[in-house]
Structure 1
């Protein structure tokens, strides 16, 4: 966003495949929800469908259905809450979980325009919207960046990740937008505005920020970079005494 304001909607765009963007969106959403805010996470990573791994139960309709066969359904129909013990907060996810045929239709230009409308609807209903966005190479990624108030590049703390940041910045500029910040994962990068540390926890163990002080502090810095938010954390020991069970689909 050119005026520098944080806004409501952030597209977290992976600079490379496997950058850890999905996990970062879950950690960021959980931290903000634990601070009493309402957060929606929308899944533009149609190919990997990684957000669905953090959710249990039947995921129907998923986001691709809301952009194609179920386009008249309200956004709320596709939202699945992560069971956080957060006072007043909510973390609602709209994952992609679909067969290839529907994924292909959800990548069309018409579906991308509907995706922008879904993002706008989420912005009206939630305090924050985070879009898990793959590298800008498909219509839904372009739609996410176009609809976002801020575009944040997510890159692993490697030489490959650093080089990918520059390539992605150029691609974002090619579509008439700009990258507002860079977040490094699994360590730090000289070009990063914030960084998420390496962790030995399994990917689907996220969110770990609710019970690991180091991760909580790092994700709070990400929240500040992405939304100018200042979520409270407790003595470096995490935000909550307990969280709900997370069962991979």
Structure 2
């Protein structure tokens, strides 16, 4: 089955799931596709940090108070990253990269986390496939109605985990949780930490894609909008694998040191 919807599920909090979802969307748009990221991590609401401009209607409103509104009412462009004065402006890309964030007070978040709202979320994810070439859902570790609904609605489920021993253990627990709701983890993405980011370092986590460390600051994203280094190249591999699509972006040739390391 051709993948249109990809659920990126964090194996643990702080795994880098939201950043990875934003970067994959930017990469797809850079290659000329229309891509949406839907926020199914209502508690953290981290996707809202990557939005260009002010957020009015958000996803939780579409699941509770504004159920008749179109999904487009809560769609916002990814802001330009890489710091600088343009950090609040929309990124300019050949395709479209939209974010559908959760940005709501506790009372509405609580209503959006019910089983009924989760079923509406599934329908909103289906709605997104009629307007976008690819849909990525940012999902917290499976343990809430919205996370279960997102996993159930997606064509493919990929786990995002830190490239550490803790991440390896969390991945095993996540596989069990996903199996408990009748689904399976189809692929894995391990995110390396910058030097000194944690005491574990980057362990030998077995994953389908391993993303090199990047500046974790929100203002540095999306790196994939213009970058050609190892991080973006690894992202491209993850996008191609997840969506069974080829990405026509040229990447930097590895230098002598990198070639020697790869041979070792």
Picking from 93, 96, 102, the partner of 1:96 is 102
Secondary structure at the aligned position of 1:125 is classed as coil
CA drift at 1:33: 0.5
Is 1:50 aligned to residue 46 of structure 2?
A: yes
Identify if the C-alpha distance between structure 1 residues 201 and 12 changes in structure 2 by more than 3 Å, giving closer, same or farther: closer
Q: Residue 93 of structure 2 aligns with which residue? A: 86
Picking from 18, 22, 45, the partner of 2:18 is 22
RMSD: 1.5
Work out the CA distance in 2 between the residues paired with 1:57 and 1:84: 11
CA drift at 1:60: 1.5
Runs of 4+ with >6 A deviation: none
Work out the CA distance in 2 between the residues paired with 1:200 and 1:23: 11
Q: Residue 227 of structure 1 aligns with which residue? A: 243
CA drift at 1:99: 0.4
| Contact 1:22–1:132 (CA under 8 A) maintained in structure 2 | yes
Rg (Cα) greater in structure = 2
Q: How does 1:50-199 map to 2 (within 5 A)?
A: 50-82=46-78, 83-87=90-94, 89-186=95-192, 189-199=204-214
| Contact 1:216–1:236 (CA under 8 A) maintained in structure 2 | no
Q: How does 1:210-225 map to 2 (within 5 A)?
A: 210-225=226-241
CA drift at 1:216: 1.4
Work out the CA distance in 1 between the residues paired with 2:206 and 2:131: 34
Compute the TM-score of the two structures, normalised by the length of structure 2: 0.84
CA drift at 1:224: 1.9
Work out the CA distance in 2 between the residues paired with 1:156 and 1:225: 20
Work out the CA distance in 2 between the residues paired with 1:134 and 1:201: 18
Work out the CA distance in 1 between the residues paired with 2:203 and 2:6: 21
